Structure 1
Amino acid sequence: MKKLFIFSILTYLFFTINSSALIQNSNEDITENEKILKIGVLLPLSGIFQDTGQSFLKAIQLALFDVGNENIKIYPKDSKANALDAYLSAKEFEKLGIKVVIGPIFYESLERLNEINSITFISLTNKTQKIPKNTIAFGINIISQIDVLKKYFDEIEVSNTLLLSPKSQFTSQAKIITNSELKFYKVFAYNTSAKKITGEIKKITNYQERKKDLERRIDILEKSDLYKDKKELEELEQKHTLGKVNFDSVLVIDFGERLKSVLTSFMFSDVSSNEVNFFTLNQWFDETFFNENALQNLHFPAIDFDNLKKFKKKYLDTFGEEPSQVSILAYDALGLIYYCWFNNDAQFKPDQLYNTNGFKGLHGEFIIKDNLSKHQLKIYKVSDKKFLKVY
């Protein structure tokens, strides 16, 4: 990537110190009102997603404080996590002369926003399909994850990858991954019932056949008096199966407790993460993984973990509570808008968001293209109750 435009919590002083110079050098004909950057904020501030919305709003307020420019004004409105209220709020933004909005969070709220042509929406959704032409999907999307997985697969030279996903869920992600540059030895959709998952994983791994191979080999060795056979027998009596599986890596498209069930089923099927590389999608550094032996060495794509920890600490110190980890994207969204405005004589133009040089936010590097934010992610793995960066 070419030289990046940089905005982040680490460099906000640059903007604060130089903002006065910007105003002084602006055209004298620009009115005070035109120097104001109005940013709409469209979040679920009531209802079942209220806590999420409030966390995102506080992240935006934190970014506003860090920028330190009094000419930036935010206008929060409640999307109520539905398309109609998002649309009605957007109409109010339009009346206020607002040209750019952070939000909504959820894909379902985008349905009617393409009717508001005068506003650019920076949505926090990670969906990639059927995004309105006036909306940028700023979430950590599947395309960005595929890109870094492909690079890492090539580096560690995996060649037989098993792709697993639950039946009737995450079908769009599974389809995008299946049709991507990633190549798979086999694609399998498992039952969503935890009681049935282990049986299906045992079939995939040929567990019963490998167990029988072990029993047959032990029967042969027990009849031998040779020293080398007795040593082999001692080793095999500590095993549950004999022989390797037909794949060297597994990518599981799932989350939460069911992801844990799938990986535990591999452990019960005598498939070790020391022999097979296990991958999943972005999990936002779920620390409950530390409590599961089956999740040791699990790999996943993610944003910059060190910067996420800095963001969480600053948020905690400011508000006395933990943030939603995804709200770091809202923090960076405000920084992105401000940077574009700042570098265009205190005027915001949507075209600036598509600068081909790309940007760097607190969460990492990215470039906006085709209404999507394409993030340069990293690969982490779970290791001894830590998240270890491996790529």
Structure 2
Amino acid sequence: MDRSLMLNALPRRNPLRAPGPVLALLVLVLLPTMVACQSSSFDGLIQGSKSASPTDSRPVVSGPRTPPPPTYAVNPVPRPAPPPLTQVDPPQPAEPETTVVSGADDGSIRVALLLPLTGPNGPVGKALLNAAQMALFSFADEKFRLLTHDTRGTPEGAAEAAQLAVGDGAQLILGPLLSSSVQGAAPVARAAGVRVIAFSSDRSVAGDGVFTLGFLPRAQVDRVIGFARGRGVQRFAALAPDNPYGRTVLDAFRAAVIGAGGEIARVELYNPDAADFSAVVRDMADYEFRRATLLEQRKELEGKEDEVSKAALARLETLQTMGDLPYDALLVADGGKRLQAVAALLPFYDIDPKKVRMLGTGQWDEPGIGAEPALVGGWYAAPPPGPRAAFEKEYSDTYGDMPPRLATIAYDATALAAVLAQLPGPDRFTSDLIANANGFAGRDGIFRFLPGGTSERGLAVLQVRQRDAVVIDRAPATFQALSN
């Protein structure tokens, strides 16, 4: 059975309710091929979703060539009224790429969306499909077709999904989500000359026509370490899980600290599957040595009768350890329940958050992180929360549930594909257009693809509070500001 859905364009009908405003994807670039379409209805700088008119048509959901299982069913999303387009003068066009896949015979422009709709990651995959629908109804025109295929969360399933997508005439592939699935789909896409915008945060899968839109930990570490150095932090330590993510973060940590002129005081890895993280936190705290130092000092004072010694002994009775730690900031590179478990042990072994600044990665970017007192006051780098908050409200109003953190990636990728699909000519999804240096702005702030296929984002620095997190260093509005 064909595991695909086709999201296409049928005649417009009235929505059941008026939705809230949509924060549209802003293309910050003057796309090179615009010079060929000065008289078209889609010229220049894109400020929002496409304009509505009485004769405009809107995308709705229709079935695939064969009916999909019930679990793949999706509901139409009402489209809000968008702001108008603004025409600008484009630069000279870039040299078009020669390898393209032609669209379907009906004149439609087909883009495939590869997601794990079944298997352990099925709920996340379906939420990403919901987010893609939201972008579809805000940006796609009547020629745009979004073909959704289930990867089953496996490399084999992703390869099969990519083959179906290519066979359906897809000119661009969005997804897959997992790095192993990207590795399965990429050879099929490359053989067909189809570009891929994957959702993985593994930079090793990027390149040769594959672009990654996931949140890369290296950029997050660079941002928070650079900010901490600017605030006078000199000595750094890091605590990370012994897995690919943790090792990637530690590589980035070493490079960032050295590059910023700081000192690496200590680095510790721990087993992410352990039931108890006490041992590694004790080591990070130099707890045995500092505890022994305290007990020795107490012993020396206990035999003295002078008032100064008695007062000093009374002060030592309130301490767990004695002596300062050799670092001013500690990067804890984890998230979720594991982060909470590790963080709870830090003050227990006398790593005092009042003396040591806690630092984090994008995995800290979740609601409720301030429930753990040891993390309150900590800094982490993440996309600016404002645009995402508007997306989360729209998603919740539409689907009755809060989206997972990765949902914005699917939204931005689909919106970008829908925008590029409205360019004239067959070369809408070339590497030059996708990797335009000026970048784009979406639900997670500005982003752009680098020539090697990885993505770069404009990140803010946030500080953890008990009930939320607040921006203490704003994200750049353009990549020109980021490079200055």
TM bin (shorter chain)? 0.7 to 0.9
8 Å Cα contact 1:253-1:281 kept in structure 2: yes
CA contact (8 A) 1:341 1:347 kept: no
User: Residue in 2 aligned with 1:102?
Assistant: 174
Distance (whole Å) between structure 2 residues aligned to residue 170 and residue 215 of structure 1: 39
- Look up the SS of the partner of 1:186 in the other structure: strand
In the alignment, does 2:187 pair up with 1:114?
yes
* 1:162 alignment partner, SS class: strand
Alpha-carbon deviation of 1:315?
0.3
Question: Closer, same or farther in 2 for the Cα pair 1:89/1:130, shift >3 Å?
Answer: closer
* Residue matched to 2:241: 166
Correspondent of 2:341 among 255, 261, 266: 261
Is 1:332 aligned with 2:402? Answer: no
Deviates more, 1:200-209 or 1:151-160: 200-209
Is the 8 Å Cα contact of residues 144 and 376 (structure 1) preserved in structure 2?
no
For structure 1, which segment, 291-300 or 340-349, has the greater mean C-alpha deviation from structure 2 after superposition? 340-349
Counterpart of 1:137 in structure 2 is 212
The counterpart of 1:61, out of the listed 133, 136, 140, is: 133
- Find the counterpart in structure 1 of residue 49 from structure 2: 12
Distance in structure 2 (CA, Å) of the matches to 1:247 and 1:40: 49
In structure 2, how many angstroms separate the alpha carbons of the residues matched to 1:328 and 1:59? 7
Closer, same or farther in 2 for the Cα pair 1:68/1:130, shift >3 Å? Answer: closer
Q: Is the 8 A contact 1:164 1:187 kept in 2?
A: yes
Contact 2:183 2:205 in 1 (8 A): no
SS in 1 for 2:255: coil
Deviation sequence 1:34-73 (CA, Å, 0-9, x none)? 8643221111112222211110011000011122533322
Q: Determine which of 150, 153, 156 is the counterpart of 2:231.
A: 156
Question: CA–CA distance in 2 between the matches of 1:362 and 1:178?
Answer: 27
Matches of 1:20 and 1:39, distance apart in 2 = 25
Consecutive unaligned residues of structure 1, counting only runs of 5 or more, are 22-30
Structure 1 residues 314, 130: CA separation in 2 closer, same or farther (over 3 Å shift)?
closer
Question: Kindly tell me: are residues 143 and 195 of structure 1, through their superposed partners in 2, closer, same or farther at Cα, counting changes over 3 Å?
Answer: closer
Higher RCO, Cα 8 Å, sep 6+: 1
**Deviation for aligned residue 1:314:** 0.2
Shift in alpha-carbon separation, 1:277–1:14, aligned structure 2, 3 A: farther
8 Å Cα contact 2:224-2:379 kept in structure 1: no
Q: Which residue of 2 aligns with 1:306?
A: 386
Deviations 1:333-382 (A, max 9, x none): 11222333335568513220111112211101112111111112222232
Instruction: Note if contact 1:249-1:276 (Cα within 8 Å) is conserved in structure 2.
Output: yes
Deviations 1:202-243 (A, max 9, x none): 2332223333443454556663544x6666555443332232
2:309 pairs with 1:285 = no
1:197 CA drift (Å)? 2.7
Deviations 1:145-194 (A, max 9, x none): 13312321321222211122233553541453255232322222234465
* Amino acid of the structure 2 residue aligned with 1:87: A
Q: Is the 8 A contact 2:387 2:442 kept in 1?
A: no
Aligned equivalent of 2:149: 77
> What code does the residue aligned with 1:84 have?
E
Aligned CA distance change for structure 1 residues 193 and 39 (closer, same or farther; 3 Å): closer
User: SS of 2:128's equivalent?
Assistant: helix
CA separation in 1, counterparts of 2:174 and 2:273? 38
Match in the other structure for 1:365: 446
Aligned pair partner of 1:87 in 144, 159, 182: 159
Give, as a single letter, the amino acid of the residue that structure 2 aligns with 1:356: A
Deviations 1:267-311 (A, max 9, x none): 111121111111222126333423322222233221222222211
Counterpart residue identity of residue 379, structure 1: V
2-structure distance, mates of 1:284, 1:200: 20
The alpha-carbon distance between structure 1 residues 344 and 68, as it changes in their structure 2 partners (threshold 3 A), is closer
Structure 1 stretch displaced more, 53-62 or 330-339 = 330-339
TM-score, normalising length: structure 1: 0.85
2-side partners of 1:271 and 1:50: how far apart? 40
- Give, as a single letter, the amino acid of the residue that structure 2 aligns with 1:120: R
The residue identity in structure 2 corresponding to 1:363 is D
**What does residue 266 of structure 2 align with?**
186
1-side partners of 2:251 and 2:226: how far apart? 17
- Kindly indicate which of the two structures has a greater share of residues assigned to helix: 1
| Contact 2:358/2:377 (8 A) holds in 1 | yes
What's the counterpart of residue 387 of structure 1?
469
Unaligned runs of 5+ in 2: 1-26, 31-43, 53-81, 88-102, 259-263, 474-484
Q: Paired residue for 2:277?
A: 197
Tell me which amino acid in the other structure corresponds to 2:441: K
Structure 2 counterpart of 1:274, which letter? K
Tell me the distance in 2 between the aligned counterparts of 1:10 and 1:319: 26
**C-alpha separation between the residues in 2 aligned to 1:10 and 1:262?**
44
Structure 1 residues 33 and 292: alpha-carbon distance in aligned structure 2, compared to 1, 3 A threshold: same
Task: Give secondary structure in 2 for the equivalent of 1:283.
Answer: helix
Aligned 8 A contact 2:174 2:198 in 1: yes
1:77 CA displacement? 1.1
- Kept in 1, the 8 Å contact 2:378–2:464? The answer is yes
Corresponding position of 1:24: none
**Is the contact between residue 301 and residue 310 of structure 2 (CA under 8 Å) also seen in structure 1?**
yes
* Counterpart residue type for residue 47 of structure 1: G
The CA RMSD over aligned residues, in Å, is 3.3
> In 2, are the aligned partners of 1:380 and 1:388 still within 8 Å (CA)?
yes
Partner of 2:114: 42
Contact 2:29 2:436 in 1 (8 A): no
User: 3-state SS of the aligned residue for 1:365?
Assistant: strand
The match for 1:250 is 330
